Structure 1
Amino acid sequence: MTDTAMGLFGIMTSRRLSNPPIAEPEFCSQLCRAAPQYDLEVLVFNPEGVAADGQSVRGYIWINGQWEYKQAAAPDILYNRCLYATPGDRRKAAAALNALYRTLPWSRGLPGKWQVYEILRRSLKAARWLPETRLYTGTGDLGTMLAEREYGIFLKPHTGSHGKRTLHAVRLNGKQGGGLSLRGRDGENKPFRHAFSRVADGLDWIHEFIGQRRYIIQPYLQLTGNGGQPFDVRVLVQKNGRGAWSLTGMAVRMGHRGSLTSNLHGGGTAVPALPFLLAEYGNTANDLIEELEEAAALLPPLLEEACGRLGELGLDFGIDAGGRIYLLEANSKPGRTVFRLTGDRRAAKLAAENPLRYARHLLLHSAAIRKQQRRQFRYRRENDINGS
């Protein structure tokens, strides 16, 4: 850390087969370039770079337009942005976090999708945005849900991101030949389709596809635009330099016509929210924007109260043809590529720099707490000495 920086901000990312071997290098380099404005220095590292005793970290800093390898003391504050593709990835990250127990966490993160649903459904105001959700327990309940829903059901992993291993299943009627039709994305996010003449065979295939993973089941919602393309609205909310929640921006993510999801990692793109919603919903578009803003103000404090301090959230909303809004997912490690794709320079700048503003706020706040604790200790010691 330089002599002028007030703190070292550590960004822990998943390991990638690249040089340097870090995820999200563009975002990380943005953090590094902007950090001096906030009297911070940024070190980006993988879980493997953390010493077993937590005293030092090996990672990368951005200097003169390039990444440079560096070993440093443990960071003052840490943002864990690791995504876990395997149980081994999760274990490595957990070991690194345990070693860095003295470091102040930037955010506590969210639990899985089922727990998030359970938290939010307790609020009457939040519950109106939640689609019906059940935990997958076997083919029996799945078969019942399929029989009751014309458009089928949607399954997604309890933990996971980018639309990987998601699945849409729908029963075919007699005119369609009966059976079960499936489409989804595999673990590498590649699309697939299967058809089964017997529903039972399709249910068995789904059960094997799920394996030991926990899944949630929701009704398949018709969330497509007039052109048949799936879309959702990504709303990014972040803590600012005062430690308060603020709305950074929103954008519509669109998938290809016939695609299962609108996720950018699945080949989607992004467009500005208001023009898209005006074209799709006419005069009600502004009302939809206001409702999305209302949800963005309500949901983060509810989740934070249950899960612990959070730093930012990506909230993904679907909107059906009638204008009803559904919360599809809440993500505590959101991407921010949508704002670069839409050309929203203000939101892109805020999205990249708010983590630094909040990190500085946390460091200043923690320093004040330590100072107060020292004053209280001196006061108690003086009273002890004086016999009070």
Structure 2
Amino acid sequence: MGKWETPIGVIQHSSDKKILLSEDLLSESGLFNGTECYVKVGKILQLGPLIGVFTSREHIRQLNQQDASFRTSEILKASVKAGTILYHFSVRDLLWNKKMVKGTVFNPASQKWEKRMFPFPDVLYDRASGRAYRKYERHVRARKKMAEMKIAKVNAVHYFDKWDLFRQLNRYKDVKDYLPETHKYKPFYLKKMLKKHPVIYLKATVGSMGTRIMRLESEGPKYKYSVYRNKLKTGHSFSLQRVNKKAVNFFGDDKIIMQQGIQLVKVDNGNVDMRATVQRNGKGELEINSIAVRLGKEGSPITSSRTGSNIVRLDEFIKAHGKHYSDKLEGKIHRFLTLIYRRIEDIYGPFGEMGIDFGLDASENIYFIESNAKPAKDSLYKSFDRKTIDQAFRNPMEYAKHLSGFQS
């Protein structure tokens, strides 16, 4: 099971639905009595697939306090329906010398999360922080060692560096028209960018949930800046030097890009952008699971669901605010999403899922904003029906089964 194997003796019995293990084998595998999973039989008897969810120490602490988030509960439910075996672990749970993982798993008998010893998994579902590489050398080493063990991954990489992503995508002629002008942040080049574009965005190359973004706008002799942390903060300055200082203070040691502000469609003076959840299913085929539209608050530099944006489905948005759009718009969006997904796979390798943020201008031009390798599914959760939500959580489990060679 997973990356663990041991010699066994096999005795055939009358049931073709059950495999009976000795207490020692049950303990070594980490399985609970009554676990339902898939079996491959040959010279090796293989149980699985075993999926390891790599996560933060804080998340593990919450699970051991029986405080599972809605997302964790949805992943567990999807795993049960897919017939996969799932455990969560942090970097501290990796026991390299024993070739085991101290996983946190849900016990269906006690209805509680527990710690158990598991083999290393067949498939890694990496939900750990993308920013940790700067702080913790252990995360870098852990991911490298798991790669050397040839553990399959749901996603080729666990985060995107925005500068690297835009620089690489810019090499493809069929993608260039979707990309806003993007450069590395350089204080002396900021003035030139603001002359060329009335609005630009400064973004940390590694960051999520819109917390590492600053909006800059030229207003005659003044410059207006706005950021969102726990609340919207704005300011004005006549000095670009002072604006640069504000940016340095805000971003700290982060590497920064500066990006052309897209003239997004607006509703009630708030920017509108879209988050698509694109995934591969149990056959490895690409599926556009959902497209949520985020109607931002007036003045807010971001439209994240965490800032109180109103979120609706694409069809609802078009019905309410886009009757002037052509009937070809949805087809154009689907082609754009498929192209971006495949180009990103060309750069980094295969992905089981991706969140893709994009925007529209008044002329129906589509602009790529960013991709997320660990989509939180917040926008999807707040705007779509139960069936779509269930499928969004189940697809990564089915894709993991596909990667590991277990067939349903």
Q: TM-score range by the shorter chain?
A: 0.7 to 0.9
Q: Which has the higher helix share?
A: 1
Work out the number of aligned pairs and report it: 358
Of 365, 372, 377, 1:331 maps to 372
Q: Which moved more, 1:161-170 or 1:207-216?
A: 207-216
Of 74, 84, 93, 2:120 maps to 74
Show the counterpart of 1:384: none
Contact 1:15 1:21 in 2 (8 A): no
Of 19, 40, 43, 2:87 maps to 43
Matched, 1:301 2:342: yes
Whole-angstrom distance in 2 between the partners of 1:130 and 1:166: 18
- Residue 89 of structure 1 deviates from its aligned partner by 5.0
- Residue 87 of structure 1 deviates from its aligned partner by 4.7
Show the counterpart of 1:215: 256
Alignment of 1:247-262 (within 5 A): 247-262=288-303
- Residue 276 of structure 1 deviates from its aligned partner by 0.8
Show the counterpart of 2:172: 123
1:164-223, Cα deviation, whole Å (9 max, x unpaired): 1200112221xxxx332111134xx54322222323222233244344322111122232
Whole-angstrom distance in 1 between the partners of 2:216 and 2:134: 30
Of 164, 168, 174, 2:215 maps to 168
Whole-angstrom distance in 2 between the partners of 1:284 and 1:99: 50
Change (3 A) 1:208 1:35: closer
- Residue 264 of structure 1 deviates from its aligned partner by 1.5
Show the counterpart of 2:50: 8
Change (3 A) 1:59 1:268: farther
Contact 2:278 2:286 in 1 (8 A): yes
Show the counterpart of 2:137: 91
Whole-angstrom distance in 1 between the partners of 2:254 and 2:266: 32
Q: Secondary structure at the match of 1:71?
A: strand
- Residue 347 of structure 1 deviates from its aligned partner by 1.9
- Which residue type is aligned with residue 319 of structure 2? L
- Which residue type is aligned with residue 181 of structure 2? E
What is the percent sequence identity of the aligned residues?
25
Q: Secondary structure at the match of 2:323?
A: helix
RMSD over aligned CA atoms reads 2.5
Instruction: State the structure with bigger RCO (CA 8 A, min sep 6), 1 or 2.
Output: 2
Matched, 1:291 2:291: no
Change (3 A) 1:283 1:205: closer
- Residue 95 of structure 1 deviates from its aligned partner by 2.9
- Residue 226 of structure 1 deviates from its aligned partner by 2.7
Show the counterpart of 2:15: none
Change (3 A) 1:192 1:283: closer
- Which residue type is aligned with residue 120 of structure 1? L
Show the counterpart of 2:161: 112
Gaps of 5+ in 2: 1-29, 38-47
Alignment of 1:1-388 (within 5 A): 1-2=30-31, 4-5=36-37, 6-16=48-58, 19-20=62-63, 25-53=69-97, 55-64=99-108, 65-87=111-133, 91-100=137-146, 101-102=148-149, 103-109=151-157, 111-136=160-185, 138-150=186-198, 152-173=199-220, 178-186=221-229, 189-284=230-325, 286-364=327-405
- Residue 259 of structure 1 deviates from its aligned partner by 1.4
- Residue 362 of structure 1 deviates from its aligned partner by 0.6
Contact 2:226 2:300 in 1 (8 A): no
Contact 2:358 2:367 in 1 (8 A): yes
Change (3 A) 1:228 1:66: farther
Contact 1:14 1:84 in 2 (8 A): no
Whole-angstrom distance in 2 between the partners of 1:82 and 1:316: 21
Show the counterpart of 1:382: none
Contact 1:54 1:99 in 2 (8 A): no
TM-score normalised by L of structure 1: 0.84
- Residue 343 of structure 1 deviates from its aligned partner by 3.2
Q: Secondary structure at the match of 1:315?
A: strand
- Residue 227 of structure 1 deviates from its aligned partner by 0.9
- Residue 41 of structure 1 deviates from its aligned partner by 0.7
